[in-house]
Amino acid sequence: MSTTSPTLIIDQPGTQTAPRILPSSREVFMSLFKADLTTQWRNRRASVMVILLPIVIVMSWKALIEKTGGAFVLSNAITLGLNAIGIMGYSNSIARDREKEIFQRLRVAPAPNWTIMGSRIAVQLVMIIMMTAIVMIVGYQYDHIVLSATGYAAGMLTAIAGGAVYLALGQAIVGRITNPETVQATSRLIYIAFIMVGMFGELGMLGNFINKAVKYTPYGTVKAIVSGALTPASWTNDTTMALLITLGYTAVFAIMGIRWFKWSSKK
Amino acid sequence: MSQPLVILPIHRYSPATHRHLNPGDRLPLDPLTITPYLSAMNTSTSQPVLQVENLDIFYGSFQAVRNVSFEVRPGEIFGLLGPNGAGKTSTLSAAEGLIKPSAGTIHVAGYDIRREPLHARASMGVQLQATSFQPELTVSEIIVLYGGLYGIKLTMDKVMTILKDIKLQDQAGKRFGQLSGGQQQRISLVIATIHNPQLVLMDEPTTGLDPQSRRQLWARIEVMRDRGHGILLTTHSMEEAESICDRIAIIDHGRIITTDAPQSIIDNNRERPEVIAASRRGKITLEDVFIGLTGADVRA
């Protein structure tokens, strides 16, 4: 990095104030990102658990591949992983750090608010990319699921788009609820509800109505776009509609999360 | 150029370096060497580093701070003294930019905290009451992080120099939560002053410290004052207020009752009947004046 950064503001002669130094947003963001990445790495046990479930799904559903196709298995596994990262991992870590007043300490520094939360989200995006890549690799190595290069690339992009829904939902949870224990309980409830209704509903085990309704839930739409992207030939108008609904969910949850969010849990 | 430089815009005499500094002097922008030069800039000017005017803070319908005005000058320790719930922390939080006042203005080093929040925050260092650093990070990583937030790139050598200065070089690799209370306060103070701010805000800095750690912290605060920093600290310790504050403001029920040097407050109020009634051993202390002015009832 240049030795002449930080940006220096020189006062005019004759004034009585000392020069003030304002760091660039990029410098601030990179400092936060490095620290948040280190924190995530030090909490790697929790990160491993988040990645473990999708791997278990991929490996245990090997027998289903012949019947439903590799994209179905991979998309379910990836969607579950996105669910865990956004709803469980992200919301709990934000609630825990807010309770410790870590955000208040950061906010008294000249760090724009967007860099503080943006860094956290960037770390979760790294987790999403890692999880998706690992699931694809395990799918290839263990289940012999082979996709096209376009399929892998598009699958990664839609995983990121789908991850945004769950990150936004996690933000909405932590925006609405300040108590970290309540955040943990609520996020677990939503996570389990999505798995039960989403996975089993789609398999038709909960009746026709649930089977149809699941397609419009965050679980169903994300699964649909990931599945459609992994095998681009199967992308239909319904998949496009699912993508639009996914983006809509992201926008709604993000607006809720930003408007409701309080930087401190103290009243 | 191996280091960024500050171009000094004004004439200053530096007591720390015993020389006159001229406009156009090029000074190293290094946190370890810039301090005496920054103190030179501050000690010669009488412009306050913090100006609070007509501050009102509401929490819903409850008014926590009422029409509070005060200023902190460079090279001064200003204490905000008050019972629990008096409005000290609310006032400090508003000065830190963490809460939005309903009315009034706050200027930090000439910057309006609402209109230019980033410049204002860059001009101040803050030590919050509760330790609030990421528990997974080591001491050295926290120092590097907060240096980065203020635009100061710190190498490990510089971090170790900083830690050696506060005799914590052996703790560099430890997590913040593993340190003792006194060690945590030393680290917090270093981080609050890492960018040599003109103003340092401290919320009850010696709470929970043993006497030795408290005295050590006082000594460090006084060194900061002598270097030209303006310091605002909140406390409900009379001993602390008398020992290190150059001026104090007594705040109660959101209002400032009086502002002056501690001895002057004692002298100006020693004849009051309520103060005499509060005194316990004949000699009037700051605590007697405080209880006389704020009442003897226990606060929730």
Specify the DSSP element, H or E, that contains B67.
strand B62-72
Is residue B19 over pLDDT 70?
Answer: no
CA distances from B157 to A9, B3, B154, B162, B168 (A): 27, 16, 8, 9, 14
**Closest residue of B to A34, CA-based?**
B145
Whether the per-residue pLDDT at B15 is higher than 50: the answer is: no
ipTM (interface pTM): 0.84
Which of B108, B150, B174, B232 best tests the A interface by mutation, with the highest count of A CBs <10 A?
Answer: B150
- What is each CA distance from B148 to A32, A195, B48, B109, B171, in whole angstroms? 8, 41, 27, 21, 20
* DSSP assignment string, B109-121: TTEETTTSHHHHH
Lowest mean pLDDT among A246-250, B32-36, B69-73, B97-101: B32-36
Q: Do A20 and B126 touch (CB under 8 A)?
A: no
Which among B1, B9, B130 has the least Cβ separation from residue A3? B1
Q: What pLDDT is attached to residue A265?
A: 86
From CA B221, how far away is CA A105, in angstroms rounded?
20
Work out the pLDDT band at B131, boundaries 50, 70, 90: low
Q: What is the pLDDT of residues B135-145, one digit of tens each?
A: 899 999 999 99
Between B52 and B19, residue with greater pLDDT: B52
Percent of chain A with pLDDT over 90: 72
How far away is chain B from the Cα of A186, in angstroms, using its nearest Cα?
Answer: 24
Other CB atoms within 10 Å distance of the CB of residue A54: 26
Residue B192 pLDDT grade (very low, low, confident, very high; cuts 50, 70, 90): very high
Mean pLDDT of all residues in A207-225 = 89
Q: Does B42 have pLDDT greater than 70?
A: no
- Greatest Cα pair distance, chain B, in angstroms, is 67
- Between A40-49, A142-151, B98-107, the lowest mean confidence (pLDDT) is in A40-49
Distances (CA, A) of A121 to A28, A36, A133, B277: 15, 10, 18, 60
Confidence at B78, pLDDT banded by 50, 70, 90: very high
Q: Do A13 and B151 touch (CB under 8 A)?
A: no
| Ramachandran sector of residue B186 (left: φ over 0; alpha: ψ -120 to 50; beta: rest) | alpha
Best residue of A1, A3, A16 to probe chain B, by most B CBs closer than 10 Å? A16
Q: Give the strand pairing for A20-22 and A7-9.
A: antiparallel
CB contacts, 8 Å: B111 with chain A: 20
Residue B284 C-alpha, separation from nearest chain A C-alpha, in angstroms: 38
CB pair distance less than 8 Å for B132 and A104: yes
pLDDT over 60 (residue B93): yes
User: Best residue in B30, B92, B100, B132 to probe A by mutation, most A CBs within 10 Å?
Assistant: B132
CB–CB contact A13 B133 (8 Å): no
DSSP state of A44: H
Q: Tell me if B179 sits within 8 A of B187, measured CB to CB.
A: yes
Q: Are A238 and A155 in contact (CB under 8 A)?
A: no
Tokens standing for residue A100: 């410790």
Which tokens in the block code for residue A187?
A: 């996020």
B11 to chain A: which residues are within 8 Å by CB? none
| Residue B2 in this model has a pLDDT that exceeds 60 | no
Residue range A78-105: mean pLDDT, rounded = 93
pLDDT of residue A19: 46
**Contact at 8 Å (CB) between B3 and B28?**
yes
Question: Could you read off the pLDDT of A149-202 as tens digits, one per residue?
Answer: 999 999 999 999 999 999 999 999 999 999 999 999 999 999 999 888 887 887
β-bridge pairing B230-235 and B247-252: unpaired
